[in-house]
Structure 1
Amino acid sequence: MGLKMVSSEAQLRLPPMARLLAAIGIFAISALAALWLATAQPWLGLVMRAGDDGLVGLVEVQRTDLPAELRSGVRITHIGTTELRAGDVIEEPDTLSSYELLNAFRARQAEISATLALPQVVIDWSDENLAAQQVTIAPYAGRPAWSLPFEFWLQLFVGGAGAIVGGWVWALKRDRPSVFLAISGFGLMASALSAAVYSTRELALDAGLFRALNAGNYLGTNIFGLALISLLLSYPKRIGGAWIILGVWVIGFGLVGAQLLQLMPSQAIGSYGPMLGQFCIILALVVFQLFASRRAPLARAALGWFGLSILLGTSVFVFTIAVPAMLGVEPQTRQAHAFGIILIIYCGIAIAVARYRLFDLGIWSFRLVSYLLGGMLLIALDALLIYGIAIERVPAFGLALLAVALFYLPLRNFLGTMLTRRTSVDPLRVREVVDIALTPNAPLRQEKWRALLDSAFAPLSIDLADATERVQLVDGGQKMTVPSTGGTPALRLNYAHGGRKLFSQTDSDRVQQLVELMDHALASRNAQEQGAQQERTRMARDLHDNIGAQLLRTLHSQDTARKDAIISETLTDLRDIINNAQGTGLVLADILADLRFETDERLGAVEIALRWHSAIDEDRAVDARLAHTLRSIIREAASNTIRHAKADNFAVRLREVEGALHIEMSDDGVGASGINGAHDGGLVNMAARAEGHGGTLTISTGSGTQIDIRLPLEAPGQ
């Protein structure tokens, strides 16, 4: 007992990588042994198959040192003194209906194998004219690896996939179900590697070796099935104790022993009866587990993979191999291809136990089943047209393909669209997201966002979650975390559709799109509000600088006619402020001439002299924005001088330097330091206008105030 406990603890401490490497090592040793057995047999260099006439036909000559007359299409009648029959080259002797036939097959294999071991082998053959001929061949001592057929390597691959995938899940999970899965993988490996050697033999194997390999194939297949039954008794709900699982193995090995001792009612029943019984038990256990896990969506999704895998594997295996063999009919697929079918079952169960992307079960299962049904429908229609209506093979296949394309594929696409709609977020909810983003009240926006998620997925609960950058599926799709957006906190949705479904990857992607749309809509709304605020600020600044200056002119003017003219100009400026025209083609010289006259009139009314100097190209054209900025700045500077400077002179100098308009304005008043901030608002407005046009403004004071401004003649972005 103490030794057993130490061994168990040591197993628990075995690192995952060590477990995986152990599985890979076992497969590597087994695969090398299988390759050695396959290549250690005497080799004639002939590929033979059973013909429809009951004889053995030559398919391919792989050696270059054989007579040219020995070519593809001839019939091999004798090897030494043994007359060859079609049954001598069958791949799987388990398909024989009785033990008498099986024993006779083994005896003939021993006889032929002994002949192939001779230094010289006499081969009798006949050509298409039935002319009997004879040739003597010296068999090679070993078979080159390149001569092994595709089916050998396929079965080698299936065995490796079973062992490595099982070992991988066992390394990750470290629980009872993963142990049974690993055992089933090694059972699949033993079955596939044994069959790889004897099913791809050139002609015959030693009787003892053939019997051992056949037993290894049968034992491995049953270990595979018994391990899956034990797995379903333990996962996802434990419905069978240790004694029940032990009983399953005792009964299973009892049936294996009975078959190997030839105690079953018949060879076919003994070979395939236990296997079919195991599959039936597995299906029953899947149904029972589905009922037991009806309130556990993750377990139910895992069981979906079991059901899907068994559906794909057993539907093809039963109707192409097991049933024909038990009815005494030739199997409809080759042994190696049957292992590929079993590998489908195994990989699906491995996915379920590892719980990899179970949230995509609905889409994946629909695709796999629909592809399977489409292929089976194509084959069935092709067979019906050939054997039922007697149409030639090529046109029959074309008609079957056309029927599948016209009727089945549109139906598949329609059903796929319906399934996708049921498992994804309705795209029309985009409108709701925009409405939520435009809701000004933050608490109401949060309430609407939660309501949208609740209506889309009907989760059992929605809780606050830790911050995350993207939508994430948690606990195999049982929960989904939604990041913060629009001022709403991060949320976790628990158990979709009242716990009946898992969140899918499609759900995650769609919600991520909604989150990004919400962020974009909020950013657009904020940008719009910021733009509106900037526009309000601009209009307020323009009203202060331009309309205020014009009204000040009106106040100081004594001429009624002149007042009317100024009011007319003020209305023009007001329209310009409102429209903020962006046209081009205004002549700068004309603008400056009007501005000089206006400024001189305003300053003259309060007895301030104007000195104006301009060195600007008279033909220079500017846009309305620059003209408006220029008028506003000079008007504001003149207004500050009139109101606060107590000056006698005001000077303006304009010049163009390196594509920019330089404006220097100065007065001989008290200076900005003596005004006590009374006109700070005007100076700030001038600075904002200059910066808004991509320019600069500097102010210096001493004996008076000097303002230097630089404005690009091309507006930013042009």
Structure 2
Amino acid sequence: MVLRRKTPADRLFYAILGLSLALIAVIYCAVNQPASHLRFEVKERQKISVFDGQRLILQNVDSVAISSAGGENRILLNANDFTEDPHFVATYPEMQQFFIKQSQVHQLMSQHQHIFLQSGDHSSSTPYPVNIQPKRKLRDLPFEFWFQLAVSSIGFLLGCWIWALRPNEIAPRIFALLNAAYPVFAFSAAIYSTRDLALNAELFRVLVAINTGGALLYGCALISLFLVYPKQLIRTQWLWAIPIFFSGWWLLDTLFLLPEPSMGGDLPITLQMLSAILCMVWQWRANRHDPRAKVALRWFALWILVSSGAFVFLVQSTQLLDIQLNMSQAYSFGFFLFVTIGIAIGLKRYQLFSLDRWAFGILYWLAGAILLVLLDAFLVMMLSPLMSLSLAILICGLVWLPVRGWLQARLLQRKKLSDSELFERILQVSFAVNEQERQLQWKALLNDLFQPLNLEISEHENNSQIEDNGLVMYTPQVAGLAAMRLSYPQQGHRLFNAYDQQLVQNLLPFLAQAVESRVAYDKGVREERHRIARDLHDDLGAKLLSGLYQKDVDQAKQAIRQAIAEMRTIVNGLLGTAVELNMVLQEFEHEVVTRLQSCGIELNWQQNLGDVPITLSYAQYRHYISMLREIISNIMKYANAQSVIIEISLLDSQLVSVICDDGNGFDGETNQSEGNGLKNLRERATELSATLHFQSLPEAKGSRVELIFPL
């Protein structure tokens, strides 16, 4: 038979099942107690007030007497008898007396359906009858009871969640043990701290022992956790020395062998907290070269100081300043949930690197709060409480806030480029003279932004992402720039976080647009240079060469004049100057007349453009004139024509040019035997957004070419 391996879901199921059984047992124990439904309030640590619902029965008395009918079995209760936890009393004899009275009151309530209550200071006062119910109802259980159950259950499930995902690692196991101890001390305290009036003494002793043992187990697990995480500092077997030592301490407290109760509860827990902090310092030194471990430790320190600092600030400092907040012990257990949540996140390492920045902010806030408490505690010894608090706030405002700002600037602020500097650096990348220089500029920008220990080209081409728990960040390939791998930011003093990733993601589109614009600009420059070279070679060069071989002086001068005019046109095109159409056509007419006369061909030039001045851009001029020249050249070479008619007209903002000859005829739509001439004509027509039609006239009377383009 093959046993199925347990999955995380199985482990969580068993944890929830065990928790459910424990909750049922705790609730059963809490409701199966006699109930008086009275509410007792202790003020100034000695004055007792008693309420029946909203009705005030006794107010500010030093003691309360309860008895059966006729004043029998009279029991006198003072402020100590209403304390939530027996460890709050001063001595063990007082604790034993506390348990004796609890047993007496519980026995009285269990044996009688009616008891009587009156002030212990005035035996002559009228007794107040109280009806005793044998059991409490669920609705009778106070909010503090459910609060302790809720926070400890959440902590327990968080611990089990981490352990279920990583059951074979020692840190999650210890973390699970730590959170298993949470409901141990919280569940037991929930029963006795929210009791109605009394519990059975034996049950009370057992619950207190369980509470103390659970609290000490929690502290042992916390110390052990920081001895193994992030780096194991001691051998695993040596961890057993911690619970063995505190087990002896717990036994001495349970047997009342310590000098006083506070040494059995408060002292060992305080020592455990200090030991955990020392272990964190040890871990910090051991991991000083590991940024991930340092961030984890900083995160742990935040949550431990949040929990313990809040407890000190709300409980210890209020007692020091003699301020009565009357906060129940139950709510202090909620602070431990902060520790659980913080360590759970740290152990899971889920986006831990995104929490580093504001963890510092909370630590500074806590430091300011602790400084205020300590300063006020010092001043209260010399001044009145009100004056000392005001003076402490003033000193903190004048001293701590500037110091905090200086520390934040020193420790938190990293080298950061301003928006204008960032914009300038991106432009430097895009304006680099070549791709190699552009890549170097991009690397320099990333280096100044994040100061990584390693910056190298990567094959990673996806979106920017963070890996290896924040040690490494990848930037994708963009606009011809290679993907980059950055590791150990700020010279290894921190990890990459979500802000870094978002910064890169915001930069990439801007960088891509800038680089692509630069590349497009360079491409346009190259194309423009190529066009100028072509114009100089094809037009200006041809005219100069033609003039060079002219034997007639007048013809040579005319060719030179045409070359000068062509050069002027090219220069005007470079300067962006528009060309007047009438001037272009006059020069072209003179050119065509000369060329056709040399071949014995007669020209009939017809032009009808009206009086409105028309200008052409340089590109329009070059393509238009080149197409007309190509058409005339084809007529001279292949048509055997005697005459040529050229009609230039304006129709609906379109320039219409029609060239007819009386030669052999030619259908340019289907005939492809004339080489590249027709191909060049069609390419130029496309550049000009023009339509070009070839047609042979009927009865072999020549051909007709129509060129139309919008102005």
* TM-score (structure 2 length as normaliser): 0.78
The code of the aligned residue for 2:410 comes to M
Verify the 8 A CA contact 1:56 1:84 in the aligned structure 2: no
By how many angstroms is 1:47 displaced?
3.4
Which of 261, 266, 272 is 1:272 aligned to? 266
Which of 361, 367, 371 is 2:365 aligned to? 371
Partner of 1:211: 205
Verify the 8 A CA contact 1:662 1:709 in the aligned structure 2: yes
655 and 376 in structure 1: CA distance in 2 versus 1, 3 angstrom threshold: same
Verify the 8 A CA contact 1:484 1:490 in the aligned structure 2: yes
Which of 399, 404, 409 is 1:412 aligned to? 404
Verify the 8 A CA contact 2:691 2:708 in the aligned structure 1: yes
Q: Secondary structure of the equivalent of 1:665?
A: strand
Determine the C-alpha separation between the residues in 1 that align with 2:248 and 2:375.
43
1:324-335 mapped onto 2 (5 Å cutoff): 334-335=328-329
Q: Secondary structure of the equivalent of 1:122?
A: strand
1:96-115 mapped onto 2 (5 Å cutoff): 96-115=89-108
Determine the C-alpha separation between the residues in 2 that align with 1:560 and 1:291.
93
Which of 64, 83, 106 is 1:77 aligned to? 64
Query: Could you report, residue by residue, the CA deviation over 1:19-78 in whole angstroms, capped at 9, with x for unpaired residues?
Result: 2333334334434443444445444444321022723224x6646xxxx56599899834
593 and 145 in structure 1: CA distance in 2 versus 1, 3 angstrom threshold: farther
Q: Secondary structure of the equivalent of 1:169?
A: helix
Asked whether 1:15 is paired with 2:11, we answer no
By how many angstroms is 1:244 displaced?
1.9
Asked whether 1:52 is paired with 2:44, we answer yes
1:252-331 mapped onto 2 (5 Å cutoff): 252-314=246-308
Determine the C-alpha separation between the residues in 1 that align with 2:18 and 2:77.
38
1:215-254 mapped onto 2 (5 Å cutoff): 215-254=209-248
Query: What runs of 5+ residues in structure 2 fail to find an aligned partner?
Result: 68-73, 597-601, 697-701
Which of 113, 135, 145 is 2:128 aligned to? 135
Determine the C-alpha separation between the residues in 2 that align with 1:25 and 1:424.
52
Which shows bigger deviation, 351-360 or 554-563? 554-563
Partner of 1:3: none
Which of 16, 22, 32 is 1:24 aligned to? 16
275 and 392 in structure 1: CA distance in 2 versus 1, 3 angstrom threshold: closer
By how many angstroms is 1:632 displaced?
4.9
Verify the 8 A CA contact 1:155 1:196 in the aligned structure 2: yes
Asked whether 1:469 is paired with 2:462, we answer yes
1:167-566 mapped onto 2 (5 Å cutoff): 167-174=160-167, 175-314=169-308, 334-360=328-354, 362-379=356-373, 389-390=383-384, 392=386, 404=396, 407-422=399-414, 428=421, 431-432=424-425, 434-447=427-440, 449-450=442-443, 461-462=454-455, 464-485=457-478, 487-496=480-489, 501-512=494-505, 518-536=511-529
By how many angstroms is 1:221 displaced?
0.9
Query: Looking at CA atoms only, which structure, 1 or 2, has the larger radius of gyration?
Result: 2
Verify the 8 A CA contact 1:557 1:563 in the aligned structure 2: no
Verify the 8 A CA contact 1:603 1:638 in the aligned structure 2: no
644 and 137 in structure 1: CA distance in 2 versus 1, 3 angstrom threshold: same
Partner of 2:599: none
Partner of 2:656: 663
Query: What runs of 5+ residues in structure 1 fail to find an aligned partner?
Result: 1-5, 691-695, 714-718
Query: Could you report, residue by residue, the CA deviation over 1:631-687 in whole angstroms, capped at 9, with x for unpaired residues?
Result: 55543343223333236123345422xxx7373534336655564324754553342
Verify the 8 A CA contact 2:646 2:657 in the aligned structure 1: no
By how many angstroms is 1:504 displaced?
4.2
Asked whether 1:639 is paired with 2:656, we answer no
Determine the C-alpha separation between the residues in 1 that align with 2:302 and 2:3.
37
Determine the C-alpha separation between the residues in 2 that align with 1:322 and 1:222.
20
Which shows bigger deviation, 95-104 or 269-278? 269-278
Asked whether 1:91 is paired with 2:84, we answer yes
By how many angstroms is 1:363 displaced?
2.2
Determine the C-alpha separation between the residues in 2 that align with 1:414 and 1:535.
57
53 and 466 in structure 1: CA distance in 2 versus 1, 3 angstrom threshold: closer
540 and 122 in structure 1: CA distance in 2 versus 1, 3 angstrom threshold: farther
Partner of 1:608: 603
Verify the 8 A CA contact 1:99 1:266 in the aligned structure 2: yes
Percentage identity across aligned positions? 27
564 and 149 in structure 1: CA distance in 2 versus 1, 3 angstrom threshold: farther
Verify the 8 A CA contact 1:148 1:200 in the aligned structure 2: yes
Q: Secondary structure of the equivalent of 1:639?
A: helix
By how many angstroms is 1:164 displaced?
1.5
547 and 345 in structure 1: CA distance in 2 versus 1, 3 angstrom threshold: same
Q: Secondary structure of the equivalent of 1:467?
A: coil
Verify the 8 A CA contact 1:425 1:511 in the aligned structure 2: no
Query: Could you report, residue by residue, the CA deviation over 1:107-161 in whole angstroms, capped at 9, with x for unpaired residues?
Result: 222333344444334333699x999554334345555555655533432232023
Verify the 8 A CA contact 1:188 1:221 in the aligned structure 2: yes
Determine the C-alpha separation between the residues in 2 that align with 1:89 and 1:365.
40
Q: Secondary structure of the equivalent of 1:439?
A: coil
Q: Secondary structure of the equivalent of 2:413?
A: helix
Query: Could you report, residue by residue, the CA deviation over 1:494-549 in whole angstroms, capped at 9, with x for unpaired residues?
Result: 44566565444444444555555543442232132234345546666887999899
Which of 142, 152, 156 is 1:159 aligned to? 152
460 and 638 in structure 1: CA distance in 2 versus 1, 3 angstrom threshold: closer
Q: Secondary structure of the equivalent of 1:651?
A: strand
The code of the aligned residue for 1:644 comes to N
Verify the 8 A CA contact 1:57 1:75 in the aligned structure 2: no
1:676-695 mapped onto 2 (5 Å cutoff): 676-678=675-677, 680-681=679-680, 683-690=682-689
The code of the aligned residue for 1:182 comes to A
Verify the 8 A CA contact 1:546 1:573 in the aligned structure 2: no
The code of the aligned residue for 2:413 comes to R
* TM-score (structure 1 length as normaliser): 0.77
Determine the C-alpha separation between the residues in 2 that align with 1:539 and 1:242.
81
Which of 559, 568, 573 is 1:577 aligned to? 573
Q: Secondary structure of the equivalent of 2:129?
A: strand
The code of the aligned residue for 1:336 comes to A
Determine the C-alpha separation between the residues in 2 that align with 1:72 and 1:613.
117
225 and 425 in structure 1: CA distance in 2 versus 1, 3 angstrom threshold: farther
Determine the C-alpha separation between the residues in 1 that align with 2:567 and 2:61.
110
The code of the aligned residue for 1:106 comes to F
272 and 37 in structure 1: CA distance in 2 versus 1, 3 angstrom threshold: same
Query: Could you report, residue by residue, the CA deviation over 1:228-282 in whole angstroms, capped at 9, with x for unpaired residues?
Result: 2333343333343343223333333232223222233322112233323323333
Determine the C-alpha separation between the residues in 2 that align with 1:381 and 1:153.
37
Which shows bigger deviation, 517-526 or 190-199? 517-526
Determine the C-alpha separation between the residues in 2 that align with 1:388 and 1:557.
119
Question: How many residues in Structure 1 have an aligned counterpart in Structure 2?
Answer: 675
The code of the aligned residue for 1:643 comes to S
Verify the 8 A CA contact 2:307 2:335 in the aligned structure 1: yes
74 and 494 in structure 1: CA distance in 2 versus 1, 3 angstrom threshold: same
Verify the 8 A CA contact 1:545 1:635 in the aligned structure 2: no
